[in-house]
Amino acid sequence: AQTVTQSQPEMSVQEAETVTLSCTYDTSENNYYLFWYKQPPSRQMILVIRQEAYKQQNATENRFSVNFQKAAKSFSLKISDSQLGDTAMYFCAFMKLNYGGATNKLIFGTGTLLAVQP
């Protein structure tokens, strides 16, 4: 069975600074996706970034980037130029890829609560 571990329950960063959230996962699969979701106080789950395991290049989305280390099973999220609106719970998630492309379920970590301080 796959597991996702986020070892930082809470983190704090000053506005405009850079912060990195950690995520490790355990799987015997070779083909999968990894995701970071953001959950602000409104509780809505918002996709931040996605990484396909078969791609060596790290995904980036504006101020958000990942450091994907497949051998180490590590998938950290870096937020540059932190903004007050980045304050939220961040969840790392894993999805096994079925051959033929059929959807599989997301397995979530326990989350990291990020507070951006003015």
Partner 1 sequence: DAGVIQSPRHEVTEMGQEVTLRCKPISGHNSLFWYRQTMMRGLELLIYFNNNVPIDDSGMPEDRFSAKMPNASFSTLKIQPSEPRDSAVYFCASTSGGRVLGNTIYFGEGSWLTVV
Taking CB under 8 A as the criterion, the residue among 111, 112, 114, 116 binding partner 1 is: 111
Q: In the structure encoding, which two tokens stand for residue 100, read together?
A: 């033929």
103 lines the binding site for partner 1 (CB under 8 A): yes
Secondary structure E strands in 1-118: 3-5, 10-14, 19-21, 24-26, 32-39, 46-52, 60-61, 64-69, 74-79, 88-96, 106-108, 112-117
Footprint of partner 1 on residues 39-98 (CB under 8 A)? 42-47, 50, 52, 91, 95, 97
Among 73, 74, 78, 45, CA closest to 60: 78
110 lines the binding site for partner 1 (CB under 8 A): yes
Binding mask 4-43 for partner 1 (x = CB under 8 A): -----------------------------x-x-x----xx
Per CB under 8 A, residues contacting partner 1 are: 33, 35, 37, 42-47, 50, 52, 91, 95, 97, 101-108, 110-111
